[in-house]
Structure 1
Amino acid sequence: MAAPGTAREVLGVFAKLGVTSFGGPIAHLGYFRDEIVTKRRWIDDERYSDLVALCQFLPGPASSQVGFAIGMLRAGVAGALAAFLAFTLPSAALMIAAAYGADLVGGPLGDGIIAGLKIVAVAIVAQAVWGMARSLTPDARRATIAVAAAASTVLLFGAAGQVVAIGLGAVAGLLWCRDASDTVRPALHFPVSRPAGAVCLGLFALLLVGLPVIAAATGSGALALVDAFFRAGALVFGGGHVVLPLLEAGVVQPGWVTPEQFLAGYGVAQAVPGPLFTFAGYLGALADVGPGGVVGGVLALTAIFAPGFLLLSGVMPFWNDLRARPWASALLRGANAAVVGILAAALYDPVFVSAIVDGWSFVLALVCFVLLVSWRWAPWLVVLVGAAGGALLAFT
């Protein structure tokens, strides 16, 4: 691993990612890998995949949790907060602005730009799958685990398929990928003690159980808002679009936000970079309960991200202990191979099937892939090419 850095360094890197990372959580993992593993070498592919596997196991916004963990590894708690704020604030500010009527998308041009950004995500995820497969599935056994994980994810669908795939991959690695020459894996040194981790886990459980009780007892609209978004963040695996049904149940069904407002905000969320969880800022600003406006948006954002980060911080010290055990090498080989399979499955659905709708979009995706892999263009430049290409295709 690279030498420890500073929170300012982490802030700069994730600020760039926060304004260029389009395409949802799987695409974000591709952007992170290109910036953190390939270019800056803060961690290697093996450790990066370990982080992805851990965050896929936990509820919450997977890509934001990975960014939080990378910031923690690089510059401690200050680095974790810097990574989260820099990656989240651009899209959060745009989503809250949208609640005030900012017309960020609409018409053929806006639809074309969104389509182009989805096409860029195809190239980004394909690059990540290719690079990680070369380092994490170098033999027939691990390649087989990756294929089985992809099949499990595609056939079982959604978060359940991902969790099952990683679990089965870990078991397969334990049984099938042992190596007599194994040495103890070096730990990921998170600056979180066991007592601090236990406090985080206890706070998560206390809030999950206590918030609905206190909100009902006090009749507070602000607490009801916080409870709804905390439960959404605590009960969804993988983040991204998986959270939408929980958000709809939390804010539309009680009548806090109209279905038309919900769908309009979802359209805006497709046009901005960063985590889809910032959709909560838009909903909190519009909700008929709580303070509304910027304050309501900030409350909703804090509530939806908090459970995932509490769980991650609580598990970190115990994850170190797991990785330090000799048998963990085989288990994590299988889990890492399964992560490759999950990314490959996500490359197919939803990334490819939602973005590649005709021959022209496929050609644009190939162009973006070649610019990334062969010409080694910076991802933000490829994002501009994809957005411009999508706008052109909208008028052809």
Structure 2
Amino acid sequence: MSYKQNEKSSLKALLEILFISTRLGLTSFGGPIAHLGYFHDEYVRRRKWMDEKSYADLVALAQFLPGPASSQVGIGIGVMRAGTLGGIVSFIGFTIPSVVALVIFALLMQSFNVGEMGWIHGLKLVAVAIVAHAIIGMATKLTPDLQRKTIALVALVVTLLWQTVYSQVVVILIAAMIGYVIYKNYSNDVQASHTHVKILTKKFGFICLSLFFGLLLLFPILREITTSHWVAMFDSFYRSGSLVFGGGHVVLPLLEREFVPTGWVSEEAFLAGYGAAQAVPGPLFTFAAYLGAVMNGWIGGLVATIAIFLPAFLLILGTLPFWNSLRNNHKIKGALMGVNAAVVGILIAAFYQPIWTSAVLSPIDFAFAAILFSMLVYWKLPPWVIVLTGAIGGTLISYI
């Protein structure tokens, strides 16, 4: 095959990835688990871009890493199909629709006093229902034994009583060490599997991982040296994207502690955006685009999106070449088990403050939150229905 034929073939593959991922980005409601279902149906069953085993391995890797799991799976599929550029194109298609929607929402919000709107209060109650559901599901899966329940409890107490920028980081690191010690010989008897990604070399993976850790250390230093608002903002989003284990909902406490106490974003605007993020398709991490736009317009939204997703890119590209040895290392699995248990505690702390304390102010608020929770968990209604009901109900409650 000639160079021109190769070029045309590559361009065709990239355009195909862009088209399909954009369609998924416009229609993938329901959170990361639903996204993985959409991906499986589209990429494995319909288009047969990869087999069941390779897809399962890629999902396992995304669950193993911090960051937005569904986005990392999408990036990984793009990489396996058309190299690093394919991963970038896949990410752009899946993410841009919700980024654009949330930036527009943030810009519109600048014209209103969000704290006095009834429908905004309704979105806060939606956040109560959604995060409560996330907590129950995660706690059942990630804290099944007494040791992990204890790790979660300690993480809850520490993050509630020691509210600093570094508290979550310290808790996660200590939980990793405890998990390493307690579960280093743990085995769930799952047969080892192997995924080969010929496109990426171990040298390239090492460069990506070095860049990930280097930026994680460099940006806090630059933040202190330069006192630049943009550097500080990039650092906050990058650090949040680097430390989120357990899915998009866990990014809430990290972002809240970064931006609300500093006064960059008001608590009302923060929770209004979080509620709106539930109503759009695509990854929940695009909530960062809303926060960036609130602080610095559409350019801020773009910078925030790049900063919070950059760790996910570097980690998925960096670990794919090493995944076979990593996933079968019992000590690393043990450390991650401790981290995941701590994440449950951190999420419960965030559920109490700021979500519960700012939303449930009266018996009618609690009653309405219970209705929204039941609609989500028991009646299995789509998230956009919950959001719409919350907005309408919040408006009606404001007149009572």
TM-score after normalising by structure 1 = 0.67
Is 1:330 matched with 2:345? no
CA distance in 2, matches of 1:368, 1:269: 18
* AA aligned opposite 1:164: V
Counterpart of 1:221 in structure 2 is none
Report Cα offsets for 1:246-276 as digits up to 9, x if no partner: 9868xxxxxxxxxxx9999779757743514
Compared with structure 1, are the counterparts of its residues 206 and 394 closer, same or farther at alpha carbon in structure 2 (3 Å cutoff)? Answer: closer
Alignment partners' CA distance in 2, 1:206 and 1:89: 27
Separation (CA, whole Å) in 2 of partners of 1:327 and 1:241: 32
Q: Is residue 95 of structure 2 the alignment partner of residue 80 of structure 1? A: no
Spell out the pairing of 1:103-122 with structure 2 (5 A cutoff).
Answer: 103=111, 108=116, 111-122=117-128
Superposition map of 1:102-181 within 5 A: 103=111, 108=116, 111-157=117-163, 159-177=165-183, 178-179=185-186
Unaligned runs of 5+ in 2: 1-15, 42-51, 80-86, 244-250, 278-285
- Conserved in 2, the CA contact under 8 Å of 1:152 and 1:161? yes
1:218-233 equivalences in 2 (<5 Å): 227=231, 229-233=233-237
CA-to-aligned-CA distance 1:172-224 (integer Å, 9 cap, x gap): 22222333565576689898654445555549968967xx89xx9xxxxxxx8
Q: Give the drift of 1:315.
A: 2.9
The equivalent of 1:278 in structure 2 is 290
**Residue number among 241, 246, 260 corresponding to 2:256 in the alignment:** 241
Does residue 358 in structure 1 map to residue 362 in structure 2? yes
Q: Distance in 2 between matches of 1:46 and 1:143?
A: 28
Distance 1:344 1:152 in 2: 12
Is this contact kept in 2: 1:234–1:307, CA < 8 A?
yes
Change (3 A) 1:304 1:151: same
CA contact (8 A) 2:275 2:387 kept: no
Q: How far apart, CA to CA, are the structure 2 residues paired with 1:246 and 1:233?
A: 15
Amino acid in the other structure paired with 1:278? Y
Asked whether the 8 Å contact 2:106–2:273 carries over to 1, the reply is yes
SS in 2 for 1:327: helix
* Letter of the 1:150 counterpart: L
Matches within 5 A, 1:1-396: 8=19, 10-16=21-27, 32-33=31-32, 35-36=34-35, 54-55=65-66, 65-76=68-79, 77=87, 78-96=89-107, 103=111, 108=116, 111-157=117-163, 159-177=165-183, 178-179=185-186, 182=189, 193-197=201-205, 200=208, 202=211, 227=231, 229-234=233-238, 238=251, 239-244=254-259, 269=273, 272-273=276-277, 274-285=286-297, 297-298=298-299, 300-316=300-316, 317-318=318-319, 320=323, 322-396=326-400
SS in structure 2 of the partner of residue 173 of structure 1: helix
Q: Is the 8 A contact 1:146 1:341 kept in 2?
A: yes
The whole-number CA distance in structure 1 between the counterparts of 2:40 and 2:362 is 37
Secondary structure (helix, strand or coil) at the match of 1:376 reads coil
Q: Which runs of 5+ in 1 are unaligned?
A: 21-30, 56-61, 217-223, 250-260, 286-296
CA distance in 1, matches of 2:295, 2:329: 44
The one-letter code matched in structure 1 to 2:291 is: F
Report sequence identity in percent.
24
Give the total of aligned pairs: 334
Closer, same or farther in 2 for the Cα pair 1:241/1:338, shift >3 Å? closer
Aligned-pair CA distance for 1:8:
4.8
**Cα distance in 1 between the residues matched to 2:56 and 2:389:** 27
The residue that corresponds to 1:254 in the other structure is: none
CA-CA distance at 1:379 after TM superposition: 1.2
1:279-318 CA deviation, whole Å, 9 max, x = no partner?
Answer: 3235434xxxxxxxxxxx33x3333333343333223324
**Range that drifts further, 312-321 or 171-180:** 312-321
Contact 1:6 1:79 in 2 (8 A): yes
Contact 1:71 1:81 in 2 (8 A): no
What CA distance in whole angstroms lies between the structure 2 residues aligned with 1:135 and 1:206?
32
Query: Within 2, Cα distance between the matches of 1:46 and 1:146?
Result: 28
Corresponding letter in the other structure for 1:71: G
Counterpart-to-counterpart distance in 2, 1:37 and 1:158:
34
Relative to structure 1, the CA distance from residue 394 to residue 195 in structure 2 (aligned partners, 3 Å threshold; closer, same or farther) is farther
Contact 2:58 2:76 in 1 (8 A): no
- Cα deviation for residue 346 of structure 1 reads 1.7
Aligned partner of residue 166 in structure 2, secondary structure:
helix
CA contact (8 A) 1:119 1:356 kept: yes
Secondary structure of 2:330's aligned partner: coil
| Structure-1 separation of matches of 2:56 and 2:345 | 15
Contact 1:356/1:362, CA 8 A, preserved across alignment: yes
Structure 1 pair 9–335 and aligned structure 2 pair: CA distance change class (3 A) = farther
| CA distance in 1 between partners of 2:120 and 2:363 (Å) | 17
Q: Distance in 1 between matches of 2:133 and 2:106?
A: 29
What SS class does the counterpart of residue 275 from structure 1 fall into?
helix
CA-atom RMSD, angstroms?
Answer: 4.3
Tell me how far apart the structure 1 counterparts of residues 75 and 380 of structure 2 sit (CA, whole Å). 28
* Residues 357, 186 of structure 1: alpha-carbon distance in 2 compared, 3 angstrom cutoff: farther
Quote the offset at 1:324 in angstroms: 3.6
